[in-house]
Chain A
Amino acid sequence: MGNLSLVLVNLGRNWVRTLLTVGSVMVALFLFCTLGGVLDTLKAAADSGSRERLATRNAISLTQWLPGSYQQRIAMVPGVQRVAVQNWFGARDPQDTRSFFAQFAVDPNFWPMYTKDLEIVQWTNPPVQLSVPAGQDPHMASYFAEKNSCIVGAGLLKKKGWHLGQTIQLAGTIFPGTWDFKINGVYANRPGGTWRDDMMLFRFDYLSEKGMGGQNFVGVYKLAIADPSRSAPIAKQIDAMFQNSDAATLTESEQAFGAGFVSMYGNVPFALRVIGLAVVFTILLISANTMVTAVRERTNEIGVLKTLGFSDGAVFGMVLTEAAVIAFGGGVAGAVLAFLAVRGANLGILPPLTVAWSTLVAGIGIALVIGAVSGLIPALWASRLRIVDALRRVD
């Protein structure tokens, strides 16, 4: 029998209490890591996008349109290389209403802007040889030939069990009606790319024709600029150009746009942090109380151990280890449970929920802090306990 065995034996003497304490730490860490996962996901969404591209949207709100005519005017601004249209579609899959995925209508300018991010990895071949517009990926011939074409992310294709060439139906929400889309391509993220592979991209002219009566209302313009260091003056110039129009614009880097998009959630990150810390603090108090009770019950035994020659430091270490084992066991279980339980959970327009390794490590670190702090008071008390007081004999 070694010191660790002695610690484990002590933990097992009231296994119901030990299990309940481990369970409470586990639940706390599960909540902490799950909430941390939501924060990680929000951060990932905010960090997506490039500093080398700009996004122009309606200054009032992301839900307000910009006129299609702005595209050419923005393109005329010196330093702007290309202007693409990207519209949120927001339809639902009637076969799978609980599983949401993002869809965007994009114009042909979109694709050359994202060649460093996206790669067409599967495609359908048109029945006859067709050419693609200049500057486009030659594998997108079918996409440009059929108006209801869409290109889906490899992750989405796998998740939905779809296959290349399949025609899928979506139920429109912003643009009502049943919408047919033919999967004419599959994209994958390139290493270091800023896009996600769980989305669907389709032709803006299809949306315009069927959903807007031929008019062009644009949600966001994406701008490729020649010199990223000039992004600020370019953005300022664009916004100044539309300052007194019916639809004033707000131009910012694509990354800032992503962060602004996440800010629509209000101060949810702050609330999540507060809730997470409150839970952890509560469990810290419960753990400390349990450890104090467990150690006080053994006052006499601590006196005996010290009489046998166990030093104050050894007793301190033993009690602290007990608390650490409880907290570490519960912490690891809670963190792993959170990692497994929330992996891939859908948060709507945000990327699939994931718990980052840094959150797991932080969670386990917090569990150890719970162990250390909750064990500190009883460990100090036990180490300072005088043998004669512990044995309660002064005859």
Chain B
Amino acid sequence: MALVEVRDIRKVYRRDTQEVPVLDGLSLDIEPGDFVALMGPSGSGKTTLLNLIGGVDQPTSGQLRVAGEEIGRLGSAALAKWRARHIGYIFQLYNLIPVLTALQNVELPLMLVKGMKAKERRERAARALDIVGLGDRLKHYPRQLSGGQEQRVAIARAVVSDPTLLLADEPTGDLDRKSAEDILVLLERLNSEFKKTIVMVTHDPHAAERAHRVHHLDKGVLSD
């Protein structure tokens, strides 16, 4: 059974009185352990699709089963709990909390794990930072890190709770070529070594080459 089953998904945004269709009857399967890239021009709906798969937005119609759960039917609280358990999200602009250290940023998802002691949270967060090569930057604040390092902290935050699915929204979009390469190598490693299923939105064909499969979106439908 596919890890992600998208069936005839539609998403329409309402702007004032106008309805703006973003996804129009899209269907897609993603298998466990897969590394999928979503490409397409601006406004094609790739980030919207990522948000729907990640449960941060709800489809207007259609079926969306992720990690065995029909997430379109979940209420707000249940969906939040489901996200904490199954989704690791990597943003283009890192979105770290500026007043928290790297270690504290990575600890955040673990605060939602019931019964986990503070010591264990710190140890697991430190281990995640070690995996992304920032074991010596635990107490650094985001402003003290380079863009590439910030994105690696964000990746550590995304994987620290061992989620089922990693969603990356243009993870290299704000980085120089060298840093972008490092991030892509890291994502490949998470996929191959740690068996993480990854869905990555990107504009960059070079980044998309790292994926096992590339889907192109155009005007809310898959074009390939």
Of residues 356 through 395 on chain A, the ones whose CB sits less than 8 Å from some CB of chain B are 386-388, 391, 393-395
CB distance from A114 to the nearest CB of B (A): 64
CB distance from B35 to the nearest CB of A (A): 21
Contact B43 A395 (CB under 8 A): yes
Contact B111 A3 (CB under 8 A): yes
If A1-B107, A1-B118, A388-B56 touch, does A308 touch B97 (CB 8 Å cutoff)? no
B26 within 8 A of A: no
B83 within 8 A of A: yes
Q: Which residue of B lies closest to A308 (CB)?
A: B109
Chain A interface, >50% SS class: helix
Contact B76 A308 (CB under 8 A): no
Q: Which residue of A lies closest to B170 (CB)?
A: A395
| Chain A positions 11 through 37: 1 when the CB is less than 8 Å from some CB of chain B, otherwise 0 | 011000000000000000000000000
Contact B89 A308 (CB under 8 A): yes
Given the complex, which residues of A lie within 8 Å of B111, measured CB to CB?
1-3, 6
Contact A394 B108 (CB under 8 A): no
Contact A394 B109 (CB under 8 A): no
Interface centre among A3, A9, A307, A313 (most CB of B within 10 A): A307
Which listed residue (A1, A9, A304) contacts B95, Cβ 8 A? A304
B149 within 8 A of A: no
A316–B195 alpha-carbon span in the complex (Å):
36
A388–B22 alpha-carbon span in the complex (Å):
14
Instruction: Count residues of chain B with CB under 8 A from any CB of chain A.
Output: 38
| Chain B positions 117 through 142: 1 when the CB is less than 8 Å from some CB of chain A, otherwise 0 | 01001000000000000000000000
Q: Which residue of A lies closest to B121 (CB)?
A: A1
A312–B47 alpha-carbon span in the complex (Å):
22
A306 within 8 A of B: yes
A6–B83 alpha-carbon span in the complex (Å):
20
Given the complex, which residues of A lie within 8 Å of B22, measured CB to CB?
394
Q: Which residue of A lies closest to B104 (CB)?
A: A1
Q: Which residue of A lies closest to B46 (CB)?
A: A395
CB distance from B33 to the nearest CB of A (A): 23
A306–B84 alpha-carbon span in the complex (Å):
9
A309 within 8 A of B: yes
CB distance from A291 to the nearest CB of B (A): 17
If A2-B111, A393-B169 touch, does A388 touch B57 (CB 8 Å cutoff)? yes
A6–B48 alpha-carbon span in the complex (Å):
30
Contact A312 B83 (CB under 8 A): no
Contact B99 A312 (CB under 8 A): no
CB distance from A303 to the nearest CB of B (A): 8
Contact B84 A308 (CB under 8 A): yes
Of residues 61 through 81 on chain B, the ones whose CB sits less than 8 Å from some CB of chain A are 76-77, 80-81
If A1-B118, A1-B121, A394-B13 touch, does A307 touch B100 (CB 8 Å cutoff)? no
If A2-B118, A10-B99, A304-B95 touch, does A309 touch B48 (CB 8 Å cutoff)? no
Given the complex, which residues of A lie within 8 Å of B112, measured CB to CB?
308-310
Contact A388 B51 (CB under 8 A): yes
Of residues 225 through 277 on chain A, the ones whose CB sits less than 8 Å from some CB of chain B are none
Contact A309 B85 (CB under 8 A): yes
A303–B51 alpha-carbon span in the complex (Å):
12
If A3-B111, A301-B97 touch, does A307 touch B57 (CB 8 Å cutoff)? no
Which listed residue (A13, A301, A307, A312) contacts B56, Cβ 8 A? A307
A1–B101 alpha-carbon span in the complex (Å):
11
B54 within 8 A of A: yes
Given the complex, which residues of B lie within 8 Å of A303, measured CB to CB?
95
CB distance from B203 to the nearest CB of A (A): 10
A310–B111 alpha-carbon span in the complex (Å):
9
Q: Which residue of B lies closest to A5 (CB)?
A: B104
Interface centre among A1, A12, A303, A393 (most CB of B within 10 A): A1
CB distance from B61 to the nearest CB of A (A): 17
Interface centre among A12, A303, A311, A314 (most CB of B within 10 A): A311
A375–B157 alpha-carbon span in the complex (Å):
29
Q: Which residue of A lies closest to B167 (CB)?
A: A307
Of residues 114 through 148 on chain A, the ones whose CB sits less than 8 Å from some CB of chain B are none
Which listed residue (A13, A387, A388, A393) contacts B99, Cβ 8 A? A13
B42 within 8 A of A: yes
Of residues 300 through 349 on chain A, the ones whose CB sits less than 8 Å from some CB of chain B are 300-301, 303-314
Given the complex, which residues of A lie within 8 Å of B47, measured CB to CB?
393-395
A150–B54 alpha-carbon span in the complex (Å):
87
Interface centre among A301, A308, A313, A394 (most CB of B within 10 A): A308
A13–B109 alpha-carbon span in the complex (Å):
21
Q: Which residue of B lies closest to A301 (CB)?
A: B97
Interface centre among B97, B112, B169 (most CB of A within 10 A): B97
Which listed residue (A3, A12, A311, A388) contacts B80, Cβ 8 A? A311
A303–B22 alpha-carbon span in the complex (Å):
21
Given the complex, which residues of B lie within 8 Å of A6, measured CB to CB?
111
CB distance from A11 to the nearest CB of B (A): 10
Contact A312 B80 (CB under 8 A): yes
For this complex, 27 residue pairs linking A to B, each with C-beta atoms less than 8 Å apart, are A1-B100, A1-B107, A1-B108, A1-B118, A2-B111, A6-B111, A9-B100, A9-B104, A10-B99, A12-B99, A13-B99, A306-B56, A307-B54, A307-B83, A308-B108, A308-B109, A308-B157, A309-B84, A309-B85, A312-B80, A387-B56, A387-B57, A394-B47, A395-B42, A395-B44, A395-B46, A395-B48
Closest 5 CB pairs of A and B: A309-B84, A311-B80, A395-B47, A387-B56, A309-B83
Q: Given known contacts A6-B111, A394-B47, what 10 new A-B pairs fall within 8 Å (CB)?
A: A12-B99, A13-B99, A304-B97, A307-B83, A307-B87, A308-B83, A308-B89, A309-B87, A312-B77, A393-B169
